[in-house]
Structure 1
């Protein structure tokens, strides 16, 4: 099994998520404001958090994805996650995904975490392109992406079907040639 990389920023340790983190994840994944733009329904029991953690770890073991738990150094509990999926080693691209507990929104936390995983993606995973698909109304996420260097490439009309409706996505991308360490 591959070794899970632990990353560190000024305020965080980004580490593998375990079943022990399921209570923390359940607390924020049960909030509609967190899942509003997410491809899961709001959690109603802790088993859903356990299953999500298991899926993410299985995908890591198969080299299909990597999802870090965002933990404050001052508090070893998961306050959000971030990572790459849709990742195929020889295709040199992946899609970024993330979420954060609402009490930590608008404090620069996700920006700090994403900057670190972008660095890891380009320098350690050998990615050339990192993509993000965001619903047009998700202004917070769009702002974070633009702040760290992603560029909007266009609107994908009715890109996927979710919650009984077709949903548009704005596609963002960050190319390695445009990456400069901050």
Structure 2
């Protein structure tokens, strides 16, 4: 598995995902965008410093996207989102992609906290997030509307210090006390 920045050439893959009601329901977003709209959004956001979007590749194939959104440089936190293409699900890419996005957020952007929202009924996703180290911070009742009904959502968070402990990042010689 590899991650790399999202590029304009990836838009046909994003277009397919954005036009799937079931996929967008997991992100609590409205589906169906025209390709022209998607291209305009890409052009408008390509230099936006509050977002980072990465393509997840497996053997050179587009397998999904991991995104850091709402990056706040004052409070040093951001939201993370992931979508794995259906043909690549069940291969461990969600966990690996999340970990890569989290490492980027903590080790490159110097974030203090990364958070996410997940439908309380999405047990598979909740399990993956807990395995990575996310803690449930609360439950937002009927907070998101998708597929014709309101959904409860967990807000889950992960602090840099806890993530670093869980992945056992070696301490550099100059950081030792």
What TM-score results when the alignment is normalised by the length of structure 2?
Answer: 0.81
Distance (Å, rounded) in 2 between the aligned partners of 1:91 and 1:149: 21
Structure 1 unaligned regions, length at least 5 = 1-10
**Deviation of 1:96 (Å):** 0.7
Contact (CA 8 Å) 2:19, 2:32: kept in 1 or not? yes
Of 133, 157, 162, the match for 2:117: 133
2: distance between equivalents of 1:177 and 1:44? Answer: 39
User: How many equivalent residue pairs?
Assistant: 166
Please state if 1:19 is matched with 2:8. Answer: yes
Matches within 5 A, 1:39-54: 39-43=28-32, 45-54=34-43
Aligned to 1:142: 126
The residue number in structure 1 matching 2:22 is 33
In structure 2, distance between residues paired with 1:43 and 1:144: 27
3-state DSSP of counterpart to 1:42: coil
Secondary structure of the equivalent of 2:70? Answer: strand
* Residue range with higher mean Cα deviation, 61-70 or 45-54: 45-54
Match of 1:119 among 78, 83, 103: 103
CA shift at 1:172, angstroms? 0.6
CA pair 159-33 structure 1, distance change in 2 beyond 3 A:
closer
Partner deviation per Cα, 1:33-77 (whole Å, 9 max, x = no partner): 3122223333364334434534542xxx231111111122x22x4
SS of the equivalent of 2:115 reads: strand
Question: Structure 2: any 5+ residue segments left out of the alignment?
Answer: 169-177
Does 1:154 find its partner at 2:138? Answer: yes
Q: Secondary structure at 2:30's aligned position in 1?
A: coil
Computed over aligned residues only, the root mean square deviation of the Cα atoms, in angstroms, reads: 2.2
TM (norm. structure 1) is 0.79
